[in-house]
Amino acid sequence: METREKFDWERGCVIPFDLFTGKADGIPMIQRRLSDLAGMFSDEAAYEKALEAGDPVVYEYHAIEIPPTDGDLSFGYSVLYPGKVGKEYWFTKGHYHEKLYTAEVYHCLKGHGMLLLEDRRGDWKTLEMKAGDIGYVPKGYAHRSVNISDSEPFVTVFAYRADAGHDYGTIKTKGFRKILLEESGQPMIADNPKGMS
């Protein structure tokens, strides 16, 4: 049987991921450490203090090279570990698609998280996700994952049009309008005190 050939996007292939961790032999994940998120957390003092204690991996994800055409699909796992900087839950950097009007789907395999969405007109929304849930990131919205569990990784599988592209710059410069803080053990949405709008 012709099975388990890797990376044949022209004739089809299977990538054998571990269902709950996304690990697969020979398929590296990109790691983002706390130091990679400089300037993005609301509590700068807590961030500096956390970095002094170490530079943990905050999240990791697949960035598999798939032909960037409008008929192909990119996909992979995202694993966001539990943690906080001050009261703010760990998150992914977040991004718009360069091709702004392309959607993305996230399927949660494990954990408890939020997708934080916002668009360029000022709209925003959170999507709470647990295992089994599929979250729909609509066209035109930047999206960030936030892990609101205190113990489990937030594990998702994502898919989007392979030519969508990533625009990290807008978010890195302006931040998201809203942030997610833990207050009395519960996630609370707050305005970003850095005042970017």
State the residues that interact with its own copies by CB under 8 A: 1-4, 8-20, 69-73, 75, 99, 101-105, 107, 109, 115, 117, 123, 125-139, 141, 157, 159-162, 187, 189
Count other Cβ atoms within 10 Å, centred on residue 29: 20
Pairing of strands 154-161, 104-110: antiparallel
Shortest distance in whole angstroms from residue 35 CB to its own copies: 30
Shortest distance in whole angstroms from residue 102 CB to its own copies: 5
Residue listed under structure tokens 């839950």 = 89
With respect to its own copies, which residue has the nearer C-beta, 38 or 188?
A: 188
Residue 48 has φ and ψ, to the nearest 5°, of -65, -40
Three-class secondary structure of residue 37 per DSSP: helix
Shortest distance in whole angstroms from residue 50 CB to its own copies: 26
Cα 119 to its chain centre, rounded Å, is 16
Q: Are 17 and 26 a contacting pair, CB within 8 Å?
A: no
With respect to its own copies, which residue has the nearer C-beta, 42 or 74?
A: 74
With respect to its own copies, which residue has the nearer C-beta, 34 or 95?
A: 95
Query: Closest Cα to residue 156, out of 189, 124, 113?
Result: 113
Shortest distance in whole angstroms from residue 49 CB to its own copies: 29
With respect to its own copies, which residue has the nearer C-beta, 47 or 156?
A: 156
Shortest distance in whole angstroms from residue 112 CB to its own copies: 12
Measured in residues, the chain has a length of 197
Give the C-alpha separation, 112 to 149, whole Å.
Answer: 6
With respect to its own copies, which residue has the nearer C-beta, 17 or 89?
A: 17
Residue 99 is classified by DSSP as S
